Amino acid sequence: MDFLNALVALANFVIIPATAYGAQLALGALGVTLIYGILRFSNFAHGDTMAFGTMITIFGTWGLQAAGVSFGPLPTALLALPLGIAVTALLVIGTDRTVYRFYRENKAKPVIFVIASLGVMFIMNGIVRFLIGVDDQRFADGERFIIRARDFREMTGLDEGLAFRTTQGITIVVALIAVIALFWFLNRTRTGKSMRAFSDNEDLALLSGINPDRVVLVTWIIVAALATTAGVLYGLDKSFKPFTYFQLLLPIFASAIVGGLGNPLGAILGGFLIAFSEVGVTYAFRKVVGYLGPEDWQPEGLLQLLSTDYKFAVSFGILLIVLLFKPTGIMKGKSV
């Protein structure tokens, strides 16, 4: 019985939160990795793109709520998500036209693109703060829990409760759908195949008649969809705050790099690796170990490897270790 309790505690505090967080990171990292693979630069504005998309979705949610529309037990934000994606797609296509296209035509060095993306980051960050402010916004509604801790205890007779929040469940399901759709698109459709060809060998792709403008356009639309979805899921699960989204840049980059930049499968793997390490290293294992030991026994310390404030340090530490041994990430990534 105690072993089961330990397992439930672990699931409650580590496995479920880390899976949800990992799914959010993976979606974010997929966007970063697509831009790196096809447009060939590290987009520093990605965190703020996520924030922008989420902000538009929040506005849509508020509009729907004001009109009395709801999604039953599910959060209304999911209904507003297409609007967020559409507006974000327009924004990123607009930035591509006004900013990045010039450098692409001039064959500028990748690092110039990165610096340009810093400028875009500043502007998007400014727009988001300007429109919605810097405060925390909670916009999750509908049912809060799929399983409540108390119900779980009554159901199973265990001491330890297991809570499974709706937002966590939705995150996992939506992320799964998004990933399947993306891979279907990349592997099965003509446009998706031309994107992969473009990513593998630009010159060859151009020779075989692939329209680069179309590839770039579709890439940005997909990136907008992924970024907005990741941002909305993160916001539903935790809360929306522009500065937090800007800070997500580091774990997202870490995920994409650890997995291998430019490799979509790697981005997913990296996302979960970073999420599980972050949660695992900063979780206090006292309770779990307590269940495994003899009756009424609890270890002295918290058995926490690092304090929670070192989350970013964990993502970066993993990043560094992987890069030292595998300079292009776990699954072979690209290099510009």
Partner 1 sequence: MSDAATTPQSGNSKTILLFALVAVLFIGTGFVQSWNTALTIFNMGLISAIMALGVNMQWGYAGLFNVGVMGFVALGGLAAVLVSSDPVPEAWAAGGPQVLLGLVLGAMTIVAAILTYTKLPAGRLRALAVVVVLIGGFAIFRTVFDPAVEAVEAVDPASTGFLGGLGLPVILAWPMGGVLAAGAAWIIGKTALGLRSDYLAIATLGIAEIIIAVLKNEDWLARGVKNVTGIPRPVPYEVDLQANEAFLNAFADPVTASTITVKLAYAGLFILFLIALIWLSEKAWNSPWGRMMRAIRDNEVSASAMGKDVKARHLQIFILGSAVCGLAGAMMTTLDSQLVPGTYQPLRFTFLIWVMVIVGGSGNNWGAVLGGFLIWWLWVQVEPMGLMLMQGLTYFLEPGSALSEHLLDSAAHMRLLTMGLILLLVLRFSPRGLIPER
Which residues contribute to the site for partner 1 (CB under 8 A)? 36, 41-42, 99, 102, 110-112, 114-116, 118-127, 129-131, 133-134, 246, 249-250, 253-254, 257, 261, 301, 305, 307, 309-310, 312-313, 315-316, 319-320, 323-324, 327, 335-336
Output DSSP code: residue 106: T
Nearer to partner 1, 298 or 335 (CB): 335
**Cβ closest to partner 1, residue 114 vs residue 206:** 114
Burial of 103 (0-12, 13-18, 19+ CB in 10 A): middle
Give the Cα separation of 237 and 175 in Å (integer): 13
Q: Which is nearer to partner 1, 95 or 168 (CB)?
A: 95
Q: What is the nearest approach in angstroms of partner 1 to the Cβ of residue 135? A: 11
Please report how close the Cβ of residue 296 comes to partner 1 at its closest, in angstroms: 24
SS3 (DSSP) at 110: helix
Least distance to partner 1 from the beta carbon of 98, Å? 8
> DSSP state, 283?
S
d(CA 335, CA 21): 27
Q: Rank residues 175 and 258 by Cβ distance to partner 1 and give the closer one.
A: 258
Least Å from the CB of residue 333 to partner 1: 10
Nearer to partner 1, 2 or 202 (CB): 202
Q: How far is the CB of 154 from partner 1 (least distance, A)?
A: 39
Q: How far does Cα 78 stand from its chain's mean position?
A: 16
CB of 258 vs partner 1, minimal distance in Å: 11
Question: Virtual CA dihedral for 177, 78, 122, 130, nearest 10 degrees?
Answer: 180
Q: What is the DSSP string of 168-190?
A: HHHHHHHHHHHHHHHHHHHHHSH
Q: Pick the closer one to partner 1 by CB: 11 or 306.
A: 306
Phi, psi of 129 (to 5 degrees): -65, -35
